[in-house]
Amino acid sequence: MPARRVLIVAYYVPPAGGPAVQRILQFIEYLADAGWQPEVVTVEEGAYPNRDPSLLHAIPDSVRVHRTAAFDPLALYQRMKGSGLPAGSLGDDPSLLERAARWVRANVFIPDARVGWWPFAHVRGKELLDRGRFDAILSSGAPHSVHLAGRSLARATGLPWVADLHDPWTDISYYDDFPHTGWARRLDARLERSVLADAAVITTVSPSWAELFRSKEDGIYEVVENGFDARDFALVHPEGPTRSSGSSLAESTDPPPSEPAPFTLSHVGKLYASRNPTAVWDALADLRDDGKIPDLTVRLIGTVDPAVLEAIEDRDLTDRIERVPFIPHAEAIQAMVSSSLLLLVIEPFAQARGMITSKLYEYLASGRPVLGVGPPDGDASALLSRHNAGQVVDWNDARSARDMILEHYTAWTTGAPRSGAAWEDIQEHNRQQQAYQMAECLDTACDVHRPAEASAS
């Protein structure tokens, strides 16, 4: 049988960088192996928090990517302010411009500032669906406005639609940072429920978040994990697959050291003020004062909020910190592999139990142990415990953080550093398996979908 065809609607597609792109790539790269040939509609020039053009090589030649214009207030804001924007809120600058931007973002651009791409995505998507044979639509986001495009295309064509929600919607961690009016909150909640009600299948990244969405609207909810790409770890696990082209750790000429020196505690990714791991800084200061960690370095790779740097400085730990700016994905993987211990931080918010970042799966694949700061009873903690790969300590539990750091540092000094997850035990989490899971969800959507008369949206 010929492969079924799916139109993917997504904002974060290379040359965008960051974690959302990695989830999109796992579908673009691997869905065809599972019997679904993807085609993609995305934005021509998005307001990306990070750019990583090297990821363009990861898009297979067989996948057509259609890029459209967009009305993007974040891009306009960048030009007005002359600086970039964080991915979630608009920052902490107390200027009049900042306050006005926050209000407009919260009450005009609903559900998010990328909603201006919706009409462009719909028009281009409708053209493609009208002239080609497609079997389903898949919208994947954040931003959540991509699901409005998925919904309008499904209504206009009568095709089955899967909505893949990476994050909570009205329960996302920074939602209350914005000055929403009551009217805006009600409209946003209505949009969220309409997506959950209209989609044939809703997918998300963790069991807790699947239950969160299910509590809002009945439907078919499935967990499709973020996963890791085994090809990115070919130097560490040569028995696994390798890339035939494009950027990857496998192409690096310098293999990562098996026993890093000095002992390196690394965080890869953005450290927002809301993700400030004060328990870790307190633990390190205590261990430093006791003379327990003379050869320990903390490597922070990516953007670090000034509040985090201030907390580090307050504990006189600045001389232990190595700052590395945003680096391409392949280099980030190499940095994980060459670390002694990896730091994962989940910000405290109502739905924190369900947060499993895409980075955690790459942490697992690196084979390095993980110190997490977040909910000890959450889904990320359960994943680490399942693979004997580390521990999540509570945001205020400096004692447990201290004990774990000292345990791993002591093992390192004896020449027997602790390892993380076993490679053979985590293959169910690789991206190929997750693409197969998404293919099953697309199959289900086709099976349960009852074509209705297409209506204009």
Burial of residue 133 (CB within 10 Å: 0-12, 13-18, 19+) is: exposed
In this model, does residue 6 exceed pLDDT 90?
yes
Q: Is the dihedral of CA 94, 46, 39, 27 positive or negative?
A: negative
In this model, does residue 181 exceed pLDDT 90?
yes
In angstroms, the CA 280 to CA 132 distance is 54
Kindly state the tokens that stand for 346.
Answer: 């989940």
Residue whose token pair is 């002992």? 263
Confidence of residue 153 (pLDDT cuts 50, 70, 90): very high
What per-residue confidence (pLDDT) applies to 353?
97
Domain ranges of the chain: 4-227+430-448, 245-424
Element containing residue 104 per DSSP (H, E):
helix 96-107
- Fold for the domain defined by 4-227+430-448: Rossmann fold (3.40.50)
Q: What percent of the chain has pLDDT over 90?
A: 73
Average pLDDT over the chain, rounded to an integer: 89
Confidence of residue 77 (pLDDT cuts 50, 70, 90): low
Residue whose token pair is 């206009």? 156
What per-residue confidence (pLDDT) applies to 373?
98
In angstroms, the CA 264 to CA 278 distance is 18
What per-residue confidence (pLDDT) applies to 246?
42
Spell out where 46-200 has E strands: 65-68, 136-141, 161-165
In angstroms, the CA 399 to CA 20 distance is 33
Confidence of residue 326 (pLDDT cuts 50, 70, 90): confident
Reported as half-sphere exposure (CB side, CA atoms, 13 A), residue 311 has a value of: 19
> Which pTM does this prediction carry?
0.88
Dump pLDDT digits (tens) for 270-302: 899 999 999 999 999 999 999 999 999 999 999
Kindly state the tokens that stand for 258.
Answer: 């098996």
- Establish whether domains 4-227+430-448 and 245-424 are of one fold: yes
In angstroms, the CA 185 to CA 358 distance is 28
Does domain 245-424 sit in CATH 3.40.50.2000?
Answer: yes
Alpha helices in 140-231 (DSSP H): 145-157, 182-198, 207-214
Reported as half-sphere exposure (CB side, CA atoms, 13 A), residue 439 has a value of: 22
In angstroms, the CA 116 to CA 376 distance is 39
Higher pLDDT, 413 or 234: 413
Kindly state the tokens that stand for 318.
Answer: 């600045």
Kindly state the tokens that stand for 168.
Answer: 């909570």
